[in-house]
Structure 1
Amino acid sequence: MATPVSIIVLCYNKVAYTKQCLRALYANTDTSRFELIVVDNASSDSTPDMLAEFAASHPNVKVIRNEENLGFVGGNNCALGSVEGEYVIFLNNDTEVQPGWLPPLVETMAEPGAGAAGCKLVYPDGTLQEAGGIIYSDATGNNFGKFDNPNHPEYCSFREVDYCSGAALMVRTDLFRELGGFDARYQPAYYEDTDLCFTVREKGLKVFYEPRSVVVHHEGKTAGTDVTKGFKRFQEINREKFIEKWAAELRKQPAPGPKTGANVRALIDRRFRGKPQVLAAADEPPQYDRQGGALRFYHFLQYLVESGHQVTYLARNVTERPPDVSLVPYVERLRRMGVVVHGLNAFQPSKMDVSQPLPPIQRVLTGHDFEAALLFSHREGGFVLNHIKALGLRMRIFMDSVDLHFLRKGRECRRSGGSPSRWVDYAEGKAQELATYRQTDCVFTATAEESDFLQRGLGIRQAAYVPDTFPLSRDVPGFDEREGLVFLAGFRHAPNLDAAMYLMSEILPHIRKELGDVPLYLVGDGPPDSLKKLADEHTVITGWVPKLEPYLSKMRVGLVPINYGAGIKGKLCRAMGYGTPNVSTTVGAEGIGLTHEKNVLLADDPASFAKAIARLYNDRELWERLSRNGYEHIRERHSRESVSRILLSTMFPTETIAEFRQVRDMRFFDLVAGGYVRLESGRQAEAQSEFRKVIELYPDAGEGYIGLARAYLAQGKAREAQATIARTPESETGRQEFTITQARCLLAFGRKGIALKLLNDLASRDLFDVFFMEELGTLQFAAGGREEAQQSLERALTLENDMSTRVRLRTALAEVKVALGDVHGALEQLSAVSQMYIDINELQGFHALDVKMGELIAQALPPAAELAQPTPEELRDLAPVLRLTGMRVGRLGPISSREYHLHRARPEAVPDWLAEVFGALDGLARRSAGQGNVQVRTF
């Protein structure tokens, strides 16, 4: 074919718009890339003369003149015989193409399975007309983003859609010829473009929206906008024809839904992807060709998109990274994958956001129904994690550690003989890193060793090993085809720069002794001048290079002289994927499962490192063995297929994995737990919704009914709760909770006697769950069973070691003992609680007990007419002193009222130490409350 693209412009009168369309087309398009076919549909104005003049002065123009108006369908079809391009574009005469509009469409049609591609259509006032569209089950359509900001991130990502408008639409010429053009049933116009897109998909091909191709559209300039007259009336007529033709397919389409808002995007994506939305977040878009960790994260995003997940990427910065890196190409790469990219430093306001007076980050987080979040490292993902937690959003949070930063920092401190401030920085950083990990649902590590270390060594139970991906070269040059040594590194990363300085200053002199002038290449981004100064005439420091393959496939030996760090060393694995064997330090090879002499050579001092290099460089048999084994190691452990499978099965268990009982149980547990979390936080309506979902998915499980009844009780709806409990399936599972909830319903109706009988029957069983025992005792007390409540709570205390639970149990038990008249027993329980508060430095709870214990001591002191009895207010001030005195002498409780009374009646019978204490108390009782508190702290 002479040209790649044939552009068909159909016109009927409106000569000014046609002239404007053609002028923009030639001004903004490479004329060598297209031929133009203009079809004049029997215009009665000056259009024919203008077209004749235009064709005479412009190359590649064909003009077809129809004697009658054949409409959009007939007019475009009559041009089909003149098309010579591989692709054909239908372009309305009331459009103006913008600079750079054509190459992205051609690029899109090269995508596997592409059958048609549409543009971003913009109104002349700058608002969006269409970013692809969706067709509902009644054949009505929705142009995504209409009247919104065309630069909003939601409209800037590449994706598959139901249809794109025929105002600017590209299709394969061979496909269009096979179809015989637009379906003539839609003559003269409307629904022919939608029908074409549905036919494309019927043939197993795809319709794509290409956001980089921007076209201004003066909508309705030819056919008008009134659907009751002229050509426009055929819009409704042809909708009925479309329904008749595509009835079966329309049944698969979604029901008519929202016309605007973020939910439309979710509906469009779900139509084609059908899998949960995922939030991904980092400081910047992944610079996959500059940083190993960024490449790892980029691969994760690829696997999520390829498996059908809708991915939204949130970054703080999407423009420039000092001193010299533009982030725009990395943003575009993500958008080309179909990822929606939001940059907080370049946030584009959108009409869909106007109703939400929230900061940009919260607009993104609350504007989508994310099921999972994938965050890049604790340092970059932590800010998003904090917002997710603060907003109370329900999504599973995964964090890629990349490497254990605190482990690398500790090794760096040791290597540099770290100052005290560096060690303090290490300790603070470690605490922060681990605290962040503990807030996630799962931490990904690049090595199995680090995952095991987090789980067993640091108690972070949810950690998973997800390997890095490394390419495998199909062509591995042999020993004789290679020459030179290579060290790959991003020199902005401190361990890499340290390794490079170590290589140049300490190892290189030994290399020169062993191998002479063998070339040495240091390849990577950001080498500083201090490193360049160490290079000799046989050393090349390249800086950033667009491709590593020329170095990896031509160098004979790779070098990994890393002295500290953590995680996996991508430079080592990338080299092995090209069949390049390596000499590495022990630290450089850790976490990959390599074996000395089998797939790597290991050496940890400069002289030994250089000797290993020389040996590998000159020994063909050794070289070929390490090259072969290293390549196989990468193929088995780090291929796209294996890593993708591990990542997806960890984040979203596959159907096969879902058959495991543990996975089914976990899903059930998460739903039930989610309902109770909402109930506990006061979100009763959300809790009801969650428990209804449990009932829907697991109708034979009692937990959903019990939870729903509890949600009703929290709202004071006792009748609804009782009706729900009555529907609970019979099962031994959850019978204890069923009985307790039933008792709660009875108490809500004031039937304490029946409730207490139920609870006492439950208490007679062998219960060993402290949470049941605690709730049981609390309800027995509410039902009037004080002694029974005391027994249940005391029994619960024997079962529980957790401090916070014991505080709760002892506090409840003190209340029960007060009701039973056992003030001394209540004081003993509260004194124990006070000691716990001291142990955990919980000052608020500690001070709250001062008032409670003062009131109880006032009750415990008998009246004595002959003595000056302290007032209750004075005794509240004395309570901390009494308690602390008891602790000082190793007593179990505070000073008893008997001892206090004895002191007042017979001071000579009191031991000296106690007389001294009581003397201080007498002085304290005469002071004001504020002074008394000061005295307590110095006592």
Structure 2
Amino acid sequence: MDDSRQGTEEQAGRTASPSRVPLWRVFDPVWYLSRHPDAAAHMERLGMTDVQAYYLQYGGGLGHSPNVFFDENYYLALYPDVAAHVAAGGAPSGFAHYITHGYRSRSPHWLFDEERYRRIYPDLGDPSEPTPGFVNGYDHFLAHGDEEGRSAHRFFDKALYDANVDESPELAAQPGGPFRHFLRSGGAAGSTARLSWYFDPDWYLRTYPEVAEEVRNGVWSSALHHYLVNRLPWRYSPNPWFSEEFYTATYADALREIRDGRFRNGYDHFLRFGALEGRRPHQDVDLARYLEDPKVRASLKAVEFHDGFAHWVANRTRNPAVSMSEFDAEQHNKDAFCRMAEKRVAQFARSVLDFTVEGTPAVSVIMVIHDRFALTMTALASLRANFHGPIELILVDSGSTDRTRQLDRVVIGAKWLRFEENVGFLLGCNAAFSHVTARAVLFLNNDVVLGHEAVARASARLFSRRGVGAVGAKVIRTNGLLQEAGCIVWRNGATSGFMRDGDPDAPEANTVRDVDFCSGAFLMVRADCLSRLGGFDTAYAPAYYEETDLCVRLHKAGYRVLYDPNVVIEHLEYGTSGALQSEELIARNHKIFVEKHADWLGNKLDHSDAAAFFASRPGVSSGRILFIEDQVPLRTIGAGFVRSNDLVHGMSALGYEVTVFPLFPADLSLFEVMRAFPDNVEVLFDRGLEELPRFLQQRAGFYDLVWVGRTHNLHRLRAAFDDAGAAFPQRGLILDTEAVAAPRTLEQARVLRQPSAETLPELLRKELEPARSCQRVIAVNEIDAELIRQTGISNVATLGHVQTPRPTGRSWRERSGLFFLGALHDVATPNYDSLVWFVSEVLPLLQPQLPADARVTVAGHVAPGLDLSPLQHPLVDLVGPIDDSMPFYDRHRVFIAPTRFAGGIPFKLHEAAARGLPVVATALLCRQVGWVDGEEILSGGSDDAALFARQILALHTDETLWYRLRDAALRRIRLEHDPAEYQATLSGVLDGAMRHLRRSS
């Protein structure tokens, strides 16, 4: 290559080892002539013999590829901006662009996805930074990843390649893995073998015979090549279980984004997002329902398949006789629900359900009944077992003809209203309301089973604050899917159950929020509100729109209607509506509703799937915050996540609507999440960085503020924010540094005797560069705040930890031993280093002098697979994660914090002091908290094992010193970490950010 080209290539490859050139950069003259046979004839006419020179002068401009690893035509087709740049003379070819610019993030071949490769293999480092020792991810993959069996593309699976492709001995002997072998062989296996579950070459060639003809004529190397490279991708479906026509016709949002150029075709959208969302890929494939199968879920958790669709295709391929009817089980489940109700009836033969009330009832329950005796008994038994307080049960027999007429023999203490005809839900409820004496009225269907404490929870929510008029439940159908998580009213008066057919455990369905209305299957309303509004409007009799109208009238009267996911019912949908179902009746009542509430409907959204999330949250809050962290900030995992958890709680308490979005999803359950956060916080525990750009686009305009926890995440998020474009709220970006890392980096290098080529100012500038675009930067203490200001960033606020003194009760004499609490995420972390140093250097000095019963307890989160052998010692008890730390603080005498390098403020030190356990810490931590050696804490010096041991021994043996330090530290906690002051500071930060947004809008 010429000197200028060679120079740019060296520039592109300067991060790699000087002795190794990336394979994608090497020009291959033999392959080039075999791939472009016309080049040889042209060279002969020109009198040229140097193939590489010919490529540089002519071939690149003719659309030739320089080697088997780079596809020129694919690169230009995939990136129209590059094609335009080349056409305008900005670069001689797509390959020239790739080696100078594109290698950083773009994909050079139709079977390699640079962004995906860097994202799914975190050991390659931050995706926004160069791969250590390699030019890019493709360089790493060709050098190592291919042979290691790493995945470079969804459409190329090493296991399937190995199972379905018989390599020749000559090919198998060549260097590299299956990817290089596939390319070197010419890629013909893309027509003859299944290389992934996402593409069926045999079906494809049979379905599109014109493609088969083009493959035979050498236009394409294989069916797979055609599918991934052709210029009209929306015309072709990849397998019998995905239909481009069906998908784009069904999902208008996907079609719009395809037309906008965000996705290549419907399948591209489906694989990146639709499959994760449970969308239908084909009219005969209900993927969401398929994923309810426990076996499927277990297989996906075991990472046997990338997603549920791959599992589906594999299952159909291996078991072609299996049909979708196996999974379309709702009617079967309904029948089973009814059969179980019938089977339960006998248990009431010799007993009764007693609803007798003495005194004032806590709740009045109105149930309208028309036949279905067994279902009614099941519902009433569920009600009686669910709530043990006084229930005023008002039963309305609406013209029943079955055993319901003798229901009073087994249900005593109820008030009865009997009608000879079926008057319907509305008129029956209004008739019953005149008999209500409780302050809360529960409208309850007779085809439901109540979840744990549903009545008590709804009542508590109803009276939790002024202004709440009604509370509704999470309604789950008999197939285990949602009927509704609150309901939506659209501008045209149509209604929708939010997340119908969705997973009841989905994060979006599990936040307490204001809603337009909740269905009457379970609707608890304040009796005084009902009295003021006159009950249901009889214009809607006999049924439909009555509860919608009631809730709208509550809104107009200034009351709130809340959806509470903690209130759960199972509902046999349409189990009792019977003959009242009528399209004409629905149409009539819809017209009444629209005419009556035209003013209110004018402020609602137009009906569309894309707007459902926005429409499901009509409430007004202090502001909406997207809270981004490394992972879901559970208190049990330490490492600053306790502080993040406190922040989320604080934001919620201030009235902000908060969504927590982790960059790295963890294998958590809804149970764990609900225990850890307020019930009005949306925690997207099943998401990750890959979904963030799409998520931001889906919720464009929803969030006022984006709170990013930890500076390294702001580096990591650059690409996602760029991909989101205008959907990202740039003016509301707040960075919570959690800890400034630069000093820790230098201290770590000093402690570990590692050379450091950069100074503190250089490290600070590099670390905090992204913070310059933030509206506000948060430091955890004034030390960090000053470091941030030294970089020229002035919009800094300080927000530390919140801590409430709760000293444990045992005396000094009742305690013994040392306690360490901290997360162990990696061998390079401060906690791991501190424990290794303590066990190897300090403990041998302590062991001969400690009492025989004194042991060292180490507790906290431990990363899977972490090597704990350096921490093994006869005196050390490694107990791992603990749910309750109080018993450990209560029985130990000394808390140890032997941290040799760290940033920010050590939360564990404050927590120990707040629990009344005195601390021995390194001088570094003493400086960070600002406590004085011998007054509130004992300092073990800097990397001084002998001093650290002496201080522990002094605290462990001196009762007077122990009590003096304990009392002084508790005073500092009360003074410096008062919850009220913490909340006021957080309020000031957020209120200031909101004011700034309002001024700039």
- Specify the alignment match of 2:787 in structure 1: 453
Choose the corresponding residue for 1:101, options 440, 447, 451.
Answer: 451
- Specify the alignment match of 2:234 in structure 1: none
Distance (whole Å) between structure 2 residues aligned to residue 612 and residue 459 of structure 1: 41
Q: CA deviation digits over 1:292-319, x for unaligned, max 9?
A: 4111111112222222222222234444
Opposite residue 989 of structure 2, the aligned amino acid is: T
Larger Cα-atom Rg: 1
Opposite residue 157 of structure 1, the aligned amino acid is: T
Q: Select between 527-536 and 646-655 the one with higher mean Cα deviation.
A: 527-536
Opposite residue 315 of structure 1, the aligned amino acid is: P
Shift of 1:472: 2.5
Q: CA deviation digits over 1:580-616, x for unaligned, max 9?
A: 2211111122322212222111122222223222333
Shift of 1:560: 1.1
Shift of 1:434: 3.1
Opposite residue 634 of structure 1, the aligned amino acid is: I
Q: Secondary structure at the match of 1:278?
A: strand
Distance (whole Å) between structure 2 residues aligned to residue 41 and residue 303 of structure 1: 49
1:361 aligns with 2:361: no
CA contact (8 A) 1:5 1:85 kept: yes
Shift of 1:181: 11
Distance (whole Å) between structure 2 residues aligned to residue 377 and residue 564 of structure 1: 17
Shift of 1:635: 2.3
Shift of 1:568: 1.0
Q: CA deviation digits over 1:899-925, x for unaligned, max 9?
A: xxxxxxxxxxxxxxxxxxxxxxxxxxx
- Specify the alignment match of 1:437 in structure 2: 771
Distance 1:294 1:512, change over 3 A: same
Distance 1:394 1:540, change over 3 A: closer
Distance 1:147 1:269, change over 3 A: closer
Distance (whole Å) between structure 1 residues aligned to residue 470 and residue 923 of structure 2: 53
Q: Secondary structure at the match of 1:591?
A: helix
- Specify the alignment match of 2:512 in structure 1: 158
Shift of 1:379: 3.3
1:626 aligns with 2:961: no
1:508 aligns with 2:858: no
Distance (whole Å) between structure 2 residues aligned to residue 327 and residue 447 of structure 1: 34
CA contact (8 A) 1:471 1:577 kept: yes
Distance (whole Å) between structure 2 residues aligned to residue 587 and residue 278 of structure 1: 34
1:540 aligns with 2:897: no
CA contact (8 A) 1:489 1:524 kept: yes
Shift of 1:433: 3.1
Distance (whole Å) between structure 2 residues aligned to residue 480 and residue 213 of structure 1: 50
Q: Secondary structure at the match of 1:255?
A: coil
Distance (whole Å) between structure 2 residues aligned to residue 319 and residue 60 of structure 1: 50
- Specify the alignment match of 1:904 in structure 2: none
1:66 aligns with 2:418: yes
Distance (whole Å) between structure 2 residues aligned to residue 551 and residue 65 of structure 1: 60
Distance (whole Å) between structure 1 residues aligned to residue 608 and residue 509 of structure 2: 13
Opposite residue 577 of structure 1, the aligned amino acid is: A
- Specify the alignment match of 1:923 in structure 2: none
Choose the corresponding residue for 2:674, options 328, 332, 353.
Answer: 332
Opposite residue 654 of structure 2, the aligned amino acid is: S
CA contact (8 A) 1:140 1:256 kept: no
1:169 aligns with 2:504: no
CA contact (8 A) 2:834 2:898 kept: yes
- Specify the alignment match of 1:925 in structure 2: none
Distance (whole Å) between structure 2 residues aligned to residue 635 and residue 84 of structure 1: 48
Opposite residue 500 of structure 1, the aligned amino acid is: L
Distance (whole Å) between structure 1 residues aligned to residue 993 and residue 635 of structure 2: 28
Shift of 1:649: 1.8
Opposite residue 491 of structure 1, the aligned amino acid is: L
- Give the gaps of 5 or more residues in structure 1: 244-249, 321-325, 348-357, 672-692, 694-939
Shift of 1:565: 1.3
Distance (whole Å) between structure 2 residues aligned to residue 375 and residue 654 of structure 1: 14
- Specify the alignment match of 1:643 in structure 2: 982
Distance 1:589 1:76, change over 3 A: farther
Shift of 1:413: 2.7
Q: CA deviation digits over 1:816-867, x for unaligned, max 9?
A: xxxxxxxxxxxxxxxxxxxxxxxxxxxxxxxxxxxxxxxxxxxxxxxxxxxx
1:413 aligns with 2:413: no
- Specify the alignment match of 1:118 in structure 2: 472
Distance (whole Å) between structure 2 residues aligned to residue 487 and residue 126 of structure 1: 44
- Specify the alignment match of 1:823 in structure 2: none
Q: Secondary structure at the match of 1:599?
A: coil
Distance (whole Å) between structure 1 residues aligned to residue 887 and residue 532 of structure 2: 48
Identity %: 20
CA contact (8 A) 2:810 2:891 kept: yes
Q: Secondary structure at the match of 1:119?
A: strand
Distance 1:585 1:645, change over 3 A: same
Choose the corresponding residue for 1:39, options 372, 395, 406.
Answer: 395
CA contact (8 A) 1:160 1:206 kept: yes
- Specify the alignment match of 2:737 in structure 1: 401
Distance 1:204 1:500, change over 3 A: farther
CA RMSD, 1 decimal? 4.9
Opposite residue 558 of structure 1, the aligned amino acid is: F
- Specify the alignment match of 1:779 in structure 2: none
- Specify the alignment match of 1:490 in structure 2: 823
Choose the corresponding residue for 1:132, options 474, 486, 493.
Answer: 486
Q: CA deviation digits over 1:546-604, x for unaligned, max 9?
A: 01122224433221111111111111000121232211111122322212222111122
Shift of 1:79: 7.2
Distance 1:635 1:167, change over 3 A: same
Shift of 1:257: 3.9
CA contact (8 A) 1:14 1:222 kept: no
Q: Secondary structure at the match of 2:474?
A: strand
- Give the gaps of 5 or more residues in structure 2: 1-354
- Specify the alignment match of 2:443 in structure 1: 90
Distance 1:454 1:367, change over 3 A: same
Q: Secondary structure at the match of 1:449?
A: helix
Distance 1:346 1:13, change over 3 A: farther
Q: CA deviation digits over 1:739-788, x for unaligned, max 9?
A: xxxxxxxxxxxxxxxxxxxxxxxxxxxxxxxxxxxxxxxxxxxxxxxxxx
Q: CA deviation digits over 1:234-286, x for unaligned, max 9?
A: 7877999x98xxxxxx999983444455656546646341x332212234211
Distance (whole Å) between structure 1 residues aligned to residue 601 and residue 678 of structure 2: 25
1:145 aligns with 2:498: yes
- Specify the alignment match of 1:469 in structure 2: 802
Opposite residue 501 of structure 1, the aligned amino acid is: V
Q: Secondary structure at the match of 1:545?
A: coil
Distance 1:404 1:214, change over 3 A: farther
- Specify the alignment match of 2:934 in structure 1: 597
Q: Secondary structure at the match of 2:619?
A: helix
1:610 aligns with 2:958: no
Shift of 1:26: 6.9
- Specify the alignment match of 1:578 in structure 2: 915
- Specify the alignment match of 1:13 in structure 2: 370
The TM-score with structure 1 as length reference comes to: 0.56
Distance 1:434 1:203, change over 3 A: closer
Distance (whole Å) between structure 1 residues aligned to residue 365 and residue 454 of structure 2: 18
Choose the corresponding residue for 2:573, options 218, 224, 241.
Answer: 218
Q: Secondary structure at the match of 1:624?
A: helix
Shift of 1:455: 1.4
Distance 1:106 1:416, change over 3 A: farther
